[in-house]
Amino acid sequence: MSEKSYNADDLKILEGLEAVRMRPGMYIGSTGVKGLHHVLWEIVDNAVDEAANGYADEITVKIWRDGSASVEDNGRGMPTDVNTKAKMSGVEVIFTKLHAGGKFDTENYAFSGGLHGVGASVTNALSEWLKVEVYRGTVYKMSFSSRYDVERKKWLCGVADGPIENTGERTGKKGTFVRFMPDKEVFETVEWNYDTVFKRLKELAFLNKGLKINLIDERELYREVEADDGFGDEPSKILQPLPPRDKVTFRYEGGLIDFVKYLNGDRAPLYAEPLSCSAVKDIQLKGAPKGKIKIEFALCHTKDDSESLFSFVNNISTVEGGYHETGFHNGLLKVINDYSKSNGILRAKEAPFIADDIKEGLTAVLTVKMTGVEFEGQTKTKLGNPEVKLPVEQAVVEGLTQLISVKSNKAVFDEIAKKAKFAADDRIKHRAERDVAKAASDNDGLNLIGKLAPCSGRNPEMNELFIVEGDSAGGTAKQARLRQYQSILPLRGKPLNVQKKTALQALQNEEIKTLVSAIGAGFNRSFDVEKSKYKKVIILSDADQDGMHIRCILLTFFFKYMRDLVNAGCVYIGMPPLYKVYKKEVVEYAYDDKELDEKIKKVGKGYQIQRYKGLGEMSADQLWDTTMNPATRNLIQVTIDDVAEAANMIEMLMGDKVDGRKEFLAENANFNKVDGFIDKVNFKPETEGGR
Ligand code: 0R9
């Protein structure tokens, strides 16, 4: 067929393709690298459809040296005879008719894919040329090209170079081959991205069980190397050829099961084999005749706690989720709740699980195939048909219930239910914690009466909280303080060692409750450093074994339940002096033995020494001068460089395993050395003030 012989209908079709060229973005989203690959996916999807309908089992995608790309399937081969209704061959229909049918409106293609179903004609319209070969006993050929018609002053898009031709060449192959050259005038780039193609083909192979997909990249690869030309000047860069990429083949006999295993990667699965089901259900979309929806899923839990659900509609990834995901979660929740109730994992009185409980550690792939899909959302990757929810939920309930009845699956469902129970308990525990912490934060007036001596200033940026060991030192500190900015919280005896306690137990402790109230920023997961009433929280304990222990207990508490306070650099250790060296009016303080020698020299002959056994021995003035006055005191800021190491250290020193602690203390018997542990958690001298 020469160009002149096109009839009126044909012209309309051609104009249709011109519309694609005029506004490519409308059909392929963009003319960038994404749009470029979109035109390849249109062809790939047609091949996948032929396979999904059971007529093909191998697809080969090839990127050629000239930058063109081709797709070949081993299906029935596109119809080559002229369709009486369309007055053209199937090949021509596919490549020249925009929106050919509701994809291809044929009985055989009940669930067709296609990115957004715009079809191969769009690829043709946006290509310099496109060639088709059909293998059906003999080789049929047809080609199309786009060019500017100077006479008619318009673009001719995807025009057939001639009618489909039976070359008469015999072939044992079956199938269809399509090769095209993306138009450089249309696309910002015509450079195929190997990784993009690789990932999508791998994904398609997972989604289509048993389908063999080959990828060949024939392009020449180069490496930039510096070449020394022997003249001793700047080395110049040259391109060194590399061997071409090897052909890769994707084929997964396990389909979605293999996909889930792949997604799990190195994470430890809760049970060896993923569960999988598939079903076909009726669906009635608004304003459409009764249709079918095919639902398939596979799932496996890991010992992790994050969820990853990958969902697809007609092989298109629905990153933003949608009604199919809701149906899936509903179904799973129902099954696990029923199972847990009837197997004693949830007692009659206990509340059923919520969706979050069954999502913990879940890796799943869900695919649905249907016609009449509506995509919504920011990136049009959210399934917007509400009618999908129920059939998916039913498919999940029926499929999993059937699996439960298989005896060998009992252990698997036990694991899943126990994991959900664990998650639910944890959730309930944390809610209780949040409530208690909130109560503690809210009624600060109540449980702080008689305990906290609050400062009068209301600016947290300026305020400091001193946690002081013992009532008597607390009393001195109250006298010594700068009332406007400094709050004093005396501790009676040793606070609870939270390392050995659960969060809830910790919160039942009066001392801890008071501390949480005083700081006023919540606790554990609900802790919000922004709400802290103090810029500095300063631990002030005696320079002896007991004081060190109290310091460790408090640090453990902050580390476990208010870590952001530590991270924000708000936790400090106050350093009271160990000695006072004096002679008449001359007074010097020494904070360790080395300093003592220096101070003795400084004060000179006739000096006297007082050794402080505790904060309580100091007068208010002395405590102010040495420990509380921002201009002269010595604070150490607590920071955590290596959280894991700090956690291990704290676990060893404060935890249940007495052995490790004994060993550590034996090796680091003297008190200063144990302070060395604190070095690991990293203590920095205060930057402002200090001596
Ligand atoms: C290389 C990429 N492959 C394809 O694009 C491709 C389309 C296609 C096809 C048929 C078989 N293989 C194919 N590969 C086909 C479909 C039907 C009957 N015979 C063969 C049918 O739908 O009834 N077609 C997809 C659509 C059409 N063919 C057509 F019928 F619209 F032309």
pLDDT at 442: 61
431-454 burial, b if ≥16 CB within 10 A, otherwise e?
eebbebbeebbeebeebbeebbbb
Q: How far apart are alpha carbons 108 and 104 in whole angstroms?
A: 9
Contact 536, 637 (CB under 8 A): no
Mean predicted confidence (pLDDT) in 314-339: 95
Say how many Å lie between the CA of residue 451 and the centre of ligand 1: 82
**Residue 110 confidence (pLDDT) above 50:** no
Cβ neighbours of residue 338 closer than 8 Å, sequence gap 6 or more = none
Pocket probe mutation, ligand 1, options 39, 41, 43, 46, max atoms within 8 Å of Cβ: 46
* Cα 624–Cα 630–Cα 632 angle in degrees, nearest 5: 70
Q: Indicate the pairing of strand 464-469 with strand 486-491.
A: parallel
Q: What's the token pair of residue 507?
A: 């919160």
**Residue 271 confidence (pLDDT) above 80:** yes
pLDDT at 116: 40
CB-based pocket (< 6 A), ligand 1: 43, 46-47, 50, 71-73, 75-79, 90, 93-94, 104, 106, 108-109, 120, 176, 178
pLDDT at 474: 93
Say how many Å lie between the CA of residue 77 and the centre of ligand 1: 6
Among 95-104, 281-290, 483-492, 653-662, the least confident range: 653-662
Mean predicted confidence (pLDDT) in 655-668: 51
Task: Please report, as a single letter, which amino acid is at residue 187.
Answer: F
Higher-confidence residue: 244 or 255? 255
Beta strands in 183-290 (DSSP E): 212-217, 221-227, 236-242, 248-250, 275-283
Say how many Å lie between the CA of residue 33 and the centre of ligand 1: 27
**Residue 230 confidence (pLDDT) above 50:** yes
Contact 517, 497 (CB under 8 A): no
pLDDT at 159: 92
Burial of 381 (0-12, 13-18, 19+ CB in 10 A): middle
Q: How far apart are alpha carbons 467 and 484 in whole angstroms?
A: 17
- The whole-chain average pLDDT of the chain stands at 85
Q: How far apart are alpha carbons 659 and 214 in whole angstroms?
A: 59
Q: For ligand 1, what atom is nearest to the CA of residue 44?
A: 2
Burial of 182 (0-12, 13-18, 19+ CB in 10 A): buried
Which residue is closest in CA terms to ligand 1's atom 9?
A: 78
Mean predicted confidence (pLDDT) in 47-72: 96
Q: For ligand 1, what atom is nearest to the CA of residue 178?
A: 1
Task: Please report, as a single letter, which amino acid is at residue 311.
Answer: S
Say how many Å lie between the CA of residue 47 and the centre of ligand 1: 8
pLDDT tens-digit map of 540-561: 988 777 888 888 889 889 988 8
Pocket probe mutation, ligand 1, options 78, 124, 174, max atoms within 8 Å of Cβ: 78
Q: For ligand 1, what atom is nearest to the CA of residue 175?
A: 12
Band (pLDDT 50/70/90 cuts) for residue 624 is very high
Mean predicted confidence (pLDDT) in 575-600: 89
Q: What's the token pair of residue 50?
A: 């032929």
Q: How far apart are alpha carbons 60 and 137 in whole angstroms?
A: 20
pLDDT at 155: 81
Alpha helices in 299-443 (DSSP H): 323-342, 355-359, 389-404, 410-442
pLDDT at 2: 35
Burial of 228 (0-12, 13-18, 19+ CB in 10 A): exposed
Q: For ligand 1, what atom is nearest to the CA of residue 47?
A: 3
Contact 424, 354 (CB under 8 A): yes
Q: What's the token pair of residue 8?
A: 């009126």
Return the closest-CA partner of residue 147 out of 128, 165, 161. Answer: 128
CA 363 from centroid of its chain's CA atoms: 13
pLDDT at 682: 43
> Would you mind telling me the total number of residues written for the chain in this entry?
691
Say how many Å lie between the CA of residue 50 and the centre of ligand 1: 7
147 has which bridge partners? 156
Which residue is closest in CA terms to ligand 1's atom 8?
A: 78
Cβ neighbours of residue 342 closer than 8 Å, sequence gap 6 or more = none
Contact 125, 17 (CB under 8 A): yes
The neighbour count for residue 310, using CB atoms within 10 Å, is: 20
Q: Indicate the pairing of strand 212-217 with strand 69-73.
A: unpaired
Q: What's the token pair of residue 492?
A: 């009676």
Say how many Å lie between the CA of residue 161 and the centre of ligand 1: 21
Say how many Å lie between the CA of residue 189 and the centre of ligand 1: 29
pTM over 0.75: no
pLDDT at 99: 60
Say how many Å lie between the CA of residue 79 and the centre of ligand 1: 7
Q: Indicate the pairing of strand 683-685 with strand 236-242.
A: unpaired
Among 243-247, 338-342, 444-448, 609-613, the least confident range: 444-448
Place of tokens 């609870």: 496
pLDDT at 308: 86
pLDDT at 508: 80
Band (pLDDT 50/70/90 cuts) for residue 378 is confident
pLDDT tens-digit map of 287-310: 889 999 999 999 999 988 778 899
Contact 304, 266 (CB under 8 A): no
* Cα 81–Cα 38–Cα 93 angle in degrees, nearest 5: 15
Say how many Å lie between the CA of residue 281 and the centre of ligand 1: 26
**Residue 616 confidence (pLDDT) above 50:** yes
Say how many Å lie between the CA of residue 26 and the centre of ligand 1: 25
**Residue 214 confidence (pLDDT) above 70:** yes
pLDDT at 132: 98
CA 428 → CA 40, 227, 359, distances in Å? 50, 66, 16
pLDDT tens-digit map of 427-462: 888 777 777 777 666 655 556 767 889 999 999 999
Which residue is closest in CA terms to ligand 1's atom 26?
A: 104
Which residue is closest in CA terms to ligand 1's atom 30?
A: 90
